Chains A and B, each alone.
Chain A
Amino acid sequence: MKVDGKSILLRILAGFGYTAALVLGYFIFNILLFQAIPPVWGYMNQSLINLFVIVLAGFTFASGFLRGTIFKYFVEGGRDLFIIGLIVYAISKGPLSLTVQNIRVEIDATFILTLFLLATSIDLARTMLSALNYLVEKEKL
């Protein structure tokens, strides 16, 4: 693989492009959700959600930067495992709850989180197969 200034710049641009798309998507989702459920959104742990998006953006940048190498699949696998870990943690913590004045609301999102776990597992399988495919094709060349 040729490594020069131009290719590194292209990789950085690709990484920024993917990251910008992710951050833009998050902002749109944030605005839509805030318009839909402002009272609930205000009580959610924004700093934790922002941290999650920053970590995800880091993985996305690394994935874009390392495209065309086997390390891209390591990063994508790591991202999927990170998301799976978070979902398992959220499920194990039980219902989501928030208290507004003296009213406590509990939402059991286990079913939805399990659906997301399934989707992320499929993503992980795809990443692993893609990595194998990359190695096989590299071997052929």
Chain B
Amino acid sequence: MRVSVKALSIASTIIWFFFIAFSVSLAYSASAIKIEISETKIRLDSEKLKLFLDFQVLIDNNGFYDLNNVEIKATLYDWHRSFLVENKTFVRIIPYGSKVLLTLELMVDLSDIFELVVGSNNPLLLKYEARINYASILPVKVYGSVEIMLQSGEI
């Protein structure tokens, strides 16, 4: 029994050491990932009554682990939170030490609601969602939203 206790003690010590080292390296590696999001560019076509939105996300993976199944989704809602349009972009893998620039564009036809949106107090709501499977074992989701007021003089 003494041998089995010794064996279990050694196994337990090795496993704890490995897990703690892995957890610390995961946390440290996460801090080395740089994510830059550009300003959302808004373009309003007053003649065709269409709204164009686009933004870019630069992911610089300086960590020790790959980023898998990176998906960024943007959804636009009107002031009643009714769905207008959505778009998403997907990258299968961002290996460690590499950079990826993701661009997301949204185009919405405002012909029915143009006067209710532009130059009024009815903001559009842009919701965004990012999903990343970090190091293949740690799924991370980020949600956020921003309100957009369209001015009549918008470019």
Contact = CB atoms under 8 A, between A and B. Distances in A.
B12 A122 contact: yes
Interface range for B: 20 to 34
Given A116-B19, A122-B11, A126-B12, A107 B1 contact: no
Nearest to B129: A104
B142 A103 contact: yes
Nearest to B145: A102
Nearest to B7: A126
Interface range for A: 20 to 34
Interface string B131-155: 0000001111111111000000000
B9 interface: yes
- Central interface residue in A33, A118, A122, A126, by most chain B CB within 10 Å: A126
Interface stretch (A2-10, A50-58, A59-67, A130-138): A130-138
A104 B8 contact: no
B27 interface: yes
Interface of B: 1-2, 4-5, 8-9, 11-12, 15-16, 19, 23-24, 26-28, 30-31, 137-146
Nearest 7 interchain pairs by C-beta: A126-B8, A103-B144, A106-B141, A108-B139, A111-B137, A104-B143, A36-B31
